[in-house]
């Protein structure tokens, strides 16, 4: 769930955002419907120099019994400590990790790899996957696969890869890039960006070799039911928790 000004939003290619509801209410619904995990990303926190709202984490923790990850504007050990104390199971860092890679090491040393997720937003420019910051607004000189390898070496427990080219398009995940990440790395890779049909989920597990798949609009706007999706994946021979 992308959060902006306390509301869940969804766009296409990181722009043209529309309201998708109250994040706490949605979290409770998805927990009841059988989601395995939830991810909350405050997409305006870094841009506006705000901290992810700790009280949102607290209220979500009151309502759900499944693990959830929170990210957005996290730049210190203290930030993570507050979020974990308020009930988050994992934290996701993105822009702050690129600007200060040592932060990954520091967080892992303090809290352990199991709760440190590094999110990477990237898009293809002249045939190269280029890492972007600040909600996809700022291109960097970092290349996706090199940065992902460094993230793993610094101890992160998971990588959440969002293809900006696929985000919100409902045309399928970036499976070629995902397959390379999964081949190159030993930590779990979460696929994000492009889910539109149940087949897209099947494809990202089989072709993209993803360890998990994240989606937003197809669930927010009732296009795919989580229980139905899990049953379909099970029929396809993909291990799922049902």
User: Which among 105, 118, 122, 107 is positioned nearest to 163, based on CA atoms?
Assistant: 122
Residue 121 is a catalytic residue: yes
Sign of CA dihedral 185, 187, 193, 196: positive
Strand partners, 9: 2, 19
The residue from 22, 36, 81, 121 that is catalytic is 121
User: Which among 98, 9, 86, 27 is positioned nearest to 51, based on CA atoms?
Assistant: 86
Alpha-carbon distance of 122 to 101, in angstroms, equals 17
> Which three-class secondary structure state does DSSP give residue 105?
helix
138 Cβ neighbours under 8 A, 6+ residues apart: 132
> Which three-class secondary structure state does DSSP give residue 118?
strand
The residue from 2, 42, 79, 167 that is catalytic is 2
> Which three-class secondary structure state does DSSP give residue 173?
coil
Where are the extended beta strands (E) located within 22-157?
38-42, 68-71, 90-93, 116-125, 128-133, 138-143
User: Which among 89, 112, 59 is positioned nearest to 71, based on CA atoms?
Assistant: 89
Give yes or no for a contact between 71 and 117, defined as CB atoms under 8 angstroms apart.
yes
In the DSSP assignment, the letter for residue 192 is E
Give yes or no for a contact between 222 and 20, defined as CB atoms under 8 angstroms apart.
no
Catalytic site residues?
2, 121
């Amino acid at each position: 769930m992308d959060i902006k000004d306390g509301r869940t939003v969804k766009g296409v290619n990181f722009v043209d955002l529309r309201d998708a509801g109250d994040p706490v209410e949605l979290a409770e619904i998805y927990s009841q419907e059988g989601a395995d995990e939830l991810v909350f990303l405050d997409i305006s926190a870094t841009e506006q120099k705000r901290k992810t709202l700790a009280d949102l984490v607290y209220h979500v923790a009151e309502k759900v019994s499944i693990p959830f990850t929170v990210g957005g504007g996290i730049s210190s050990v203290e930030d993570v400590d507050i979020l974990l104390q308020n009930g988050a199971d994992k934290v996701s860092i993105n822009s702050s990790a690129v600007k200060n890679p040592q932060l990954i090491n520091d967080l892992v040393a303090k809290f352990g790899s199991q709760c440190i997720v590094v999110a990477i937003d990237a898009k293809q420019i002249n045939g190269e996957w280029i890492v972007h910051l600040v909600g996809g607004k700022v291109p960097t000189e970092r290349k996706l696969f090199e940065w992902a390898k460094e993230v793993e070496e610094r101890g992160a427990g998971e990588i959440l890869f969002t293809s900006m080219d696929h985000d919100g398009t409902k045309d399928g995940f970036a499976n070629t890039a995902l397959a390379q990440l999964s081949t190159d790395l030993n930590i779990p890779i979460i696929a994000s960006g492009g889910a539109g049909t149940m087949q897209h989920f099947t494809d990202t597990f089989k072709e993209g070799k993803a360890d998990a798949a994240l989606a937003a609009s197809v669930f927010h706007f009732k296009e795919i039911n989580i229980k139905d999706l899990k049953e379909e994946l099970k029929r396809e021979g993909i291990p799922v928790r049902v």
